[in-house]
């Protein structure tokens, strides 16, 4: 049995502060990790010469060589199984599942081995694997290209599940995930790959921490990933109507930051959870339940959810009807004030 040993860190990459897309921020995070730690390897379908379907790994093979960034066969179970073996032997693999629904053949490896190895060996063998999954809709993709599959991973004990909503968080959270001693499923909202924002590579992030991205005194919107910009737009629109609406970005779905979320809800007494995935048995349902249990005596109205519908993901021309939008969130907020109806 091989136990992961800490290697002496290489010289840290020089910090930068500049405006970049989320895709560029993720690329920078991977490059910095590869430069600083020889144990980090990046692999998956088309991540080498092509640089990935979304170009997240662009230039990494040329810079670090084929042994550090390489292509694999189209075999997701094999990709993750290989990562398990690598991690057991001291490496820190970062694998890419090309699209969200393409990862389903790897679920057996993820659930049975990636998530459970640490517990199975009573902590003697931990697997520092990062599984990157482009997920969610909003890009006009067809079936198998726009699933929100976070509930499968968040439901599985042993996995840390992360979803950034900004380029800054994409960089800082991916760096944190690659330093983590246990497996992380890193869900990348593909609709936001081209969203721009300022990134300071000296800023660190802690896994398992939500953040209040907009304060409010009347209603709290709770969102993650692609839904965060939508929630912020709804909060802005509600403000124009005289309501102070705050937004909490969950960032880490598992483990869940109850303290930050419940503090925000207790301050307003009203909450709406926003997520793209179907609502039944979802992460949004779990968040609503946790808020209801922990904030019951503070709530002025039931916790509402605005989610995707309980159907397979809509065809491209219909996805705007399926995805949560500002109007649906504002309608949910209105239901929290029945006396004004």
Percentage of the chain surpassing pLDDT 70? 96
pLDDT digits (tens, 9 = 90+) for 87-101: 999 999 999 999 999
155 and 288 belong to one structural domain:
no
What is the rounded CA–CA span in Å between residue 190 and residue 174? 15
94 and 225 belong to one structural domain:
no
Rounded to two decimals, the pTM is 0.95
Query: 119 lies in which domain range?
Result: 18-200
- Which amino acids are annotated catalytic? 145
CATH number of 65's domain = 3.40.50.970
186 and 69 belong to one structural domain:
yes
Report the pLDDT averaged over residues 68-83: 97
Residue 2 lies in a domain: no
Residue 36 lies in a domain: yes
Residue 96 lies in a domain: yes
Alpha carbon dihedral 147, 334, 251, 118, in 10-degree steps, equals: -70
What is the rounded CA–CA span in Å between residue 30 and residue 127? 18
> Under 8 Å CB-to-CB from 339, ≥6 apart: which residues?
none
Residue 4 lies in a domain: no
37 and 184 belong to one structural domain:
yes
Mean pLDDT of the chain, nearest integer: 95
How many separate domains does the chain show? 2
248 and 152 belong to one structural domain:
no
Asked if 170 and 22 count as a contact pair (C-beta separation under 8 A), the reply is yes
| Residue at a domain's end among 167, 200, 233 | 200
Please tell me the least confidently modeled range out of 11-25, 115-129, 155-169, 229-243: 11-25
Within 13 Å and on the Cβ side, how many CA atoms surround 335? Answer: 12
pLDDT digits (tens, 9 = 90+) for 174-189: 999 999 999 999 999 9
| Residue at a domain's end among 200, 224, 249 | 200
What confidence tier does 6 reach under pLDDT thresholds 50, 70, 90? very low
219 and 289 belong to one structural domain:
yes
Q: What pLDDT score was predicted for residue 77?
A: 97
Neighbours of 190 (CB within 10 A): 26
- Residue 12, pLDDT > 80, answer no
What is the rounded CA–CA span in Å between residue 207 and residue 210? 9
Nearest to 231 by CA among 324, 156, 308: 324
195 and 66 belong to one structural domain:
yes
Q: Sign of dihedral through CA atoms 168, 172, 178, 184?
A: negative
Residue 3 lies in a domain: no
164 and 246 belong to one structural domain:
no
| Residue at a domain's end among 165, 200, 235 | 200
């Amino acid at each position: 049995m091989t136990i992961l040993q800490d290697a002496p860190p290489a010289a840290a990459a020089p910090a930068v502060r500049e405006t970049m897309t989320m895709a560029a921020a993720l690329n920078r995070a991977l490059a910095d990790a590869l430069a600083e730690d020889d144990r980090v390897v990046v692999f998956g379908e088309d991540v080498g010469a092509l640089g990935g379907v979304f170009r997240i790994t662009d230039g990494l093979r040329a810079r670090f060589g084929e042994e550090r960034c390489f292509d694999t066969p189209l075999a997701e179970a094999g990709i993750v199984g290989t990562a398990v073996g690598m991690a057991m032997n001291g490496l820190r693999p970062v694998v890419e599942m090309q699209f969200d629904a393409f990862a389903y053949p790897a679920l057996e490896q993820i659930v049975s081995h990636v998530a459970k190895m640490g517990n199975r060996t009573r902590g003697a063998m931990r697997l520092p694997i990062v599984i990157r999954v482009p997920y969610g809709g909003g890009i006009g993709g067809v079936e198998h290209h726009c699933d929100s599959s976070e509930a499968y991973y968040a439901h599985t004990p042993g996995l840390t599940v992360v979803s950034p909503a900004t380029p800054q968080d994409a960089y800082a959270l991916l760096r944190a995930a690659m330093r983590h001693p246990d497996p992380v499923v890193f869900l990348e909202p593909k609709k936001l790959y081209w969203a721009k924002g300022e990134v300071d590579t000296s800023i660190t992030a802690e896994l398992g921490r939500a953040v209040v991205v907009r304060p409010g005194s009347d209603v709290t919107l709770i969102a993650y990933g692609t839904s965060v910009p939508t929630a912020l737009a709804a909060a802005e629109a509600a403000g124009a109507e005289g309501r102070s609406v705050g937004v909490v970005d969950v960032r880490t779905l598992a483990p869940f930051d109850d303290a930050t979320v419940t503090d925000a809800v207790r301050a307003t007494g009203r909450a709406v959870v926003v997520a793209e995935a179907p609502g039944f048995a979802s992460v949004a349902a779990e968040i609503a339940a946790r808020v209801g249990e922990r904030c019951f005596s503070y709530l002025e109205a039931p916790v509402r959810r605005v989610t995707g519908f309980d159907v397979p993901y809509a065809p491209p021309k219909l996805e705007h009807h399926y995805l949560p939008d500002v109007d649906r969130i504002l309608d949910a907020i209105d239901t929290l004030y029945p006396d004004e109806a």
